[in-house]
């Protein structure tokens, strides 16, 4: 039997809300995941993309990775990985992860399907990787999956590593492949990209998004509170895979508390009380979203007195002002369209940006930059 750890979306170097502690959190989660690999004595590690937060990581992020990779080399545990949408170089640069090949780090699938074999004591597994394909490369994806499937047909044990949106796990517009288009002959599909971890029940091949190891966006809070963050301990024998989700214990708690000026303290206390014993020594981070009108300065004063909670600057959502209704103008979308009548394409971008911004401003900005080709 072979044993490996599947992790994903570690986003090393991510730095949120201008906070040093939020950069450290990503390194800590990564170290914890790697320590699990050592404790559980796995044969190798599979990382399904977005190892780094950008294709050009800071020297700090590279150094943090080097330290951990050295430790893994000493433990004799090699790592196989692919590039995600975040860490694939946008120009003619080299992938950052490739610098560390001498430490037993193997990057797969730079230009399409690429495979290698891991063997130990007469047992063998074929490891196939396809780095993230999007934009002009996206049309290749289904062909690459077909090519990968051919390789898997003649292998006894096989793993596919892929970093894409698959239907059922993201809104359809954001998906690059239907679940039915995935290869059928692998023992295990090691997926990355979707940050809320998931193991598909009764699937063959066994399909799993390992999920991110830390929260990249406040949209991950709900799933985190329900199921935490985890890595996958996978065992492999006779073309059959079995997964155990191993929880990460050091992830900082985050909350989004939506309330109004009269109830925010009560709502905040209720939320904190419910999870307090799980904080694990890390001060939780709270985003307070307050609807209606009231004394904003008082809110800032009240929250500044909390010693055991860190707050992001509170968001104040003013009450919707009554406006004279006009026929055919019922939704925000109607107003956006009427403003951009000259240019329907701009209307479409504005509308999409608006819907992203309602959920998460930072993600919305990233989306817009990408849409306009402005890079990171």
- The site for Mn ion (CB under 5 A) is made up of 9, 50
Extract the tokens encoding 228.
């935490």
Extract the tokens encoding 149.
């499937």
Catalytic residue selected from 6, 11, 47, 86 = 86
Phi and psi (nearest 5°) for 203? -100, 145
Of 9 and 220, CB closest to Mn ion: 9
Shortest spacing between CB 353 and Mn ion, in angstroms: 20
Shortest spacing between CB 372 and Mn ion, in angstroms: 21
Annotate 333-360 with DSSP letters as a single string: HHHHHHHTTT-HHHHHHHHHHHHHHHH-
Of 9 and 144, CB closest to Mn ion: 9
Q: Taking Cα atoms as reference points, which of 145, 131, 219 lies closest to residue 179?
A: 145
Of 50 and 144, CB closest to Mn ion: 50
Shortest spacing between CB 234 and Mn ion, in angstroms: 20
Of 9 and 64, CB closest to Mn ion: 9
Shortest spacing between CB 191 and Mn ion, in angstroms: 11
Shortest spacing between CB 240 and Mn ion, in angstroms: 29
Shortest spacing between CB 18 and Mn ion, in angstroms: 21
Of 155 and 215, CB closest to Mn ion: 215
Other Cβ atoms within 10 Å of 219 Cβ, number: 14
Extract the tokens encoding 98.
């490739």
Extract the tokens encoding 165.
């949106």
Shortest spacing between CB 68 and Mn ion, in angstroms: 18
Bridge partner residues of 160 (DSSP) = 128, 189
Q: Taking Cα atoms as reference points, which of 159, 153, 66 lies closest to residue 108?
A: 159
Extract the tokens encoding 132.
């993230």
Could you say which DSSP state residue 201 is in? T
Q: Are 34 and 73 in contact (CB under 8 A)?
A: no
Sheet strands (E) in the chain: 2-7, 44-47, 79-81, 105-107, 114-120, 123-130, 158-163, 188-192, 198-199, 206-209, 230-237, 240-247, 254-260, 285-291, 310-311, 315-317
Which whole-number Å values give the CA distances from 295 to 22, 210, 311, 312, 314, in the listed order?
29, 43, 17, 18, 12
Of 14 and 115, CB closest to Mn ion: 14
How much of the chain is helix, strand and coil, in % rounded to 5?
35, 25, 40
Could you say which DSSP state residue 252 is in? P
For this structure, is 86 an active site residue? yes
Say how far apart CA 136 and CA 13 lie, in whole Å: 27
Shortest spacing between CB 276 and Mn ion, in angstroms: 29
Extract the tokens encoding 128.
């196939």
Give the residue numbers annotated as catalytic, written as ranges: 86
């Amino acid at each position: 039997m072979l044993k490996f750890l599947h992790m994903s979306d570690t986003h090393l170097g991510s730095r949120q809300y201008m906070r040093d502690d939020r950069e450290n959190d990503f390194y800590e989660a990564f170290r914890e995941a790697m320590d699990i690999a050592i404790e559980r004595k796995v044969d190798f590690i599979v990382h399904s993309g977005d190892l780094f937060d950008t294709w050009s990581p800071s020297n700090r992020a590279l150094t943090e990775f080097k330290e951990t990779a050295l430790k893994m080399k000493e433990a004799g545990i090699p790592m196989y990985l692919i590039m995600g949408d975040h860490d694939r170089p946008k120009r003619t640069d080299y992938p950052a992860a490739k610098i560390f090949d001498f430490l037993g780090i193997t990057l797969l699938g730079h230009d399409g399907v690429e495979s290698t074999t891991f063997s130990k004591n007469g047992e063998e597994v074929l490891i196939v990787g396809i780095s993230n394909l999007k934009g002009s490369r996206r049309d290749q994806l289904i062909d690459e999956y077909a090519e990968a499937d051919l390789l898997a047909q003649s292998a006894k044990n096989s793993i596919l590593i892929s970093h894409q949106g698959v239907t059922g796990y993201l809104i359809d517009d954001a998906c690059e492949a239907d679940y039915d288009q995935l290869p059928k002959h692998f023992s295990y599909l090691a997926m990355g990209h979707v940050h809320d971890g998931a193991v598909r029940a009764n699937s063959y091949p066994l399909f799993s998004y390992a999920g991110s190891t830390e929260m990249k966006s406040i949209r991950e809070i709900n799933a985190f509170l329900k199921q935490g963050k985890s890595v996958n301990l996978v065992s492999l024998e006779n073309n059959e895979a079995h997964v155990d989700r191993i929880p990460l214990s050091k992830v900082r708690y985050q909350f989004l508390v939506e309330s109004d000026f009269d109830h925010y303290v009560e709502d905040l206390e209720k939320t904190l009380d419910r999870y307090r014993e799980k904080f694990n020594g890390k001060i939780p981070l709270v985003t307070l979203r307050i609807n209606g009108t009231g004394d904003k300065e008082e809110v800032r004063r009240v929250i500044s007195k909390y010693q055991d909670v860190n707050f992001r600057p509170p968001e104040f959502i003013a009450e919707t002002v009554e406006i004279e209704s006009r026929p055919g103008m019922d939704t925000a979308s109607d107003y956006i369209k009427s403003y951009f009548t000259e240019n329907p394409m701009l209307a479409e971008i504005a509308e999409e940006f608006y819907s992203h911004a309602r959920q998460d401003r930072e993600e919305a900005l990233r989306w817009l930059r990408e849409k306009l080709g402005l890079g990171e």
